[in-house]
């Protein structure tokens, strides 16, 4: 991407499953940042790479579960969740 003219490259992942040499590859890649959610523990990966950044989705998942359990609209969350 950098060779094609990109000035910054970001990777945005829902579930950061980093196995084997993945973190080392991230560190050696041109990524400005690799952004993941906390659906999988990332503490060690974040210690091993300053490029890995975390978005906490626990509150929205909890609210989605609560709404589903109570028969409420989950689609409400699409327009009502602060970023």
CATH of the domain at 45: 3.40.50.2020
Q: Is the dihedral of CA 68, 74, 76, 79 positive or negative?
A: positive
Whether 1 is in a domain gets the answer no
pLDDT per residue as tens digits for the range 49-74:
999 999 999 999 999 999 999 999 99
Count structural domains, the chain.
1
pTM of the complete model beyond 0.85: no
Whether 2 is in a domain gets the answer no
DSSP class of 81:
-
Whether 69 is in a domain gets the answer yes
Whether 18 is in a domain gets the answer yes
- Structural domain including 46 reads 9-80
> Would you state the pLDDT for residue 15?
95
d(CA 37, CA 58): 9
Given a contact cutoff of 8 angstroms between Cβ atoms, the answer to whether 36 and 61 are in contact is: no
Nearest 5°: the CA angle 61, 65, 69 is 170
Whether 54 is in a domain gets the answer yes
- Please, is 23 exposed, middle or buried when counting C-beta atoms within 10 Å of its C-beta (0-12, 13-18, 19+)? buried
């Amino acid at each position: 991407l950098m060779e094609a003219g990109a000035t910054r490259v970001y990777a945005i992942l829902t579930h950061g499953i980093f196995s084997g040499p993945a973190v080392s590859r991230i560190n050696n890649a041109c990524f400005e940042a690799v952004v993941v959610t906390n659906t999988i523990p990332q503490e060690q990966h974040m210690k091993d790479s300053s490029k890995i950044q975390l978005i906490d989705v626990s509150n929205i998942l909890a609210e989605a579960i609560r709404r589903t359990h109570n028969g409420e609209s989950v689609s409400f969350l699409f327009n009502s969740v602060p970023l």
